[in-house]
Amino acid sequence: MEARISSLYAVLLAVVTATASAHAQFTFNVHLDSLHAGSNGTGNSVREVPGGSLVFGWQYSADELEARHIFLRRLDPMGHVISELEYTAGDDRHYATGGMDPMATMPDGSFVVAVSEGSSFGDSTWLYRYNELGERISRQYIMSFPAADSTLHSFYDVTTLSDGGFALCGTIDHATSTARALLVRLGADGSVTTVQDYVHAQALVCVREMPDGGLVVTGYRGPGLDRNVLFRTEPGGDIQWVRYSGGQGGGATGSVRVDANGAVINWNSERSDDIPIYEERMVLTKRTSTGNLLWERSTVQGSDCIASDFEKLPDGGFIGTGMKQGKGVLVRYDLEGSMLWTREYTVLNGQHSFGDVELTSDGGFLLTGMAGRFPPLDPDIQTNYVTWVVKTDSVGCVVPGCQNVGIEEVALGLDQYLSISPNPVASGQPLRITFEPPAEYIPQGPLRVAVVDATGRLVLEEQMGGATLYLSMNKLTSGLYYLHLTDGTRWLAGGKVLVE
């Protein structure tokens, strides 16, 4: 059942939200684990909604059935959980929630997603619709195959169409053939109008509409040269052009967008002969509406380097996300695809990845995905992987000014081990800084404290020789500052400091 917030809390939240919009960008890093569930979960999509954000994903049920169910959580601007809804408690079936950012936003602010109910032959897919509170307001049948047909199908993405309908993409696997790409169109009333499958890919993971009503999709095919698939269809469904890329890399994720001029932008991963066989790199490409390559930009590279979701930004640039070597990645590009900055986020142990990135009204970014949290880093959390939600400012920082301390990798989850006192601190009085990390933390260099002012300008830095540092405030005038702790290669923790 949804937890009801009090009227007083609602008023306070509205005041805080209005203040944040006017004066600052709220940031946070949270793990949304239900301790009573005790099993893995992840965030698929995140959206900014009035009063905070809404996270859509899956987690195993809290009862003895241990079925994979849909979870929607509302967070306030500071990342605190306001409500949690599970669909559907008591059902022993598994529910599939789609791929990377499978949720589409409707003009009225509601959200739709294609959900597979079941985990075997005879599964049925339904179009779920949720309001901004995470409450399901409709459920409409799309399709299924009789169990006797031995046919599996699933959808990874849905997008709204200019005629009020929807397009869904995914995969269909008949017992008598290999898996094939699946495209389905729905009318404005949710009824199925066309069902088409294609041999050009095994699965499609992202779909968008072209200006002429056709569709552009990205997906992957089986092992062989150039696993990534990008193709465009005409409104009737016939393929207009196909492009293959990526070598043996990537393939299972990626996304596609269409700009105002009909150009096609694709975010994916690739592996080529000029890089080590165990590595991949993220690639952003832009093509004309007829498939001709305008430019290609290869940037972030490493083992297990997987591109997931990206978005076009108001200035014409792009923001992309994914994972690299067990870290969540956020990459900012300009309108020509040149990389402006990159941030890598980890929580010390395990695998971490982002599946969705969204621009927020304050110019920051919301991200969700999966984070590995292993004991004894946090012995109270019994699950291996939990839903991970991060809110950054406009340059990917969880504490403002991180871009000016010379660090791109961010180790989240260590703030609780950093103590800053007294705070506020009188000008001229020393600031006591203590850092006592868990045993699993392995420093990668000397600890350094950097202080930036409200504009992000570096005003003070000093190396920590032990667990405690007394930092002189003599050179700082009254005002708000941000303290950053690094260890040579990683940003570790930070916070606000008010000098009186």
Contact partners, residue 191, CB within 8 Å, separation at least 6: none
* Residues 288 and 275: beta-carbon distance below 8 Å: no
pLDDT over threshold 60, residue 22: no
Which residue, 339, 363, 396, sits at the end of a domain? 396
Q: Of residues 189 and 382, which shows the higher confidence score?
A: 189
Q: pLDDT tens, 269-294?
A: 998 888 888 889 999 999 999 999 99
Q: pLDDT tens, 187-207?
A: 999 999 999 999 999 999 999
Q: Domain of residue 40: give its range.
A: 27-396
**Are 48 and 189 in the same domain?**
yes
Averaged confidence pLDDT in the chain: 87
| pLDDT for the residue numbered 349 | 64
**Are 351 and 454 in the same domain?**
no
Residue 409 lies in a domain: no
Strands 409-411 and 339-346: parallel
Residue 427 lies in a domain: yes
Token pair 């990008």: residue: 230
**Are 264 and 383 in the same domain?**
yes
Residue 403 lies in a domain: no
**Are 181 and 210 in the same domain?**
yes
Residue 34 lies in a domain: yes
Residue 17 lies in a domain: no
Question: How many structural domains does the chain have?
Answer: 2
User: What distance, in Å, lies between the first and last C-alpha atoms of the chain?
Assistant: 46
Domain harbouring 113, CATH code: 2.120.10.30
Q: pLDDT tens, 105-164?
A: 999 999 999 999 987 777 899 999 999 999 999 999 999 988 888 888 999 999 999 999
**Are 112 and 156 in the same domain?**
yes
Domain harbouring 494, CATH code: 2.60.40.10
Residue 307 lies in a domain: yes
Give the integer Cα–Cα distance in Å for 342 and 284. Answer: 14
Which residue, 338, 367, 396, sits at the end of a domain? 396
**Are 312 and 452 in the same domain?**
no
In this structure, the number of other CB atoms found within 10 A of the CB of residue 458 comes to 14
Residue 22 lies in a domain: no
**Are 241 and 158 in the same domain?**
yes
Q: Of residues 479 and 32, which shows the higher confidence score?
A: 479
Which residue, 363, 396, 429, sits at the end of a domain? 396
Q: Which residues partner with 270 through β-bridges?
A: 281
Report CA-CA distances (Å) from 336 to 51, 123, 286, 403, 432.
Answer: 35, 43, 9, 22, 46
**Are 374 and 433 in the same domain?**
no
Contact partners, residue 145, CB within 8 Å, separation at least 6: 121, 122, 151, 153
Residue 110 lies in a domain: yes
Contact partners, residue 390, CB within 8 Å, separation at least 6: 28, 29, 30, 328, 345, 354, 366, 367, 368, 398, 412
pLDDT over threshold 60, residue 358: yes
- Give SS3 for 287: strand
Q: Which band of pLDDT confidence, cut at 50, 70 and 90, is reported for residue 13?
A: very low
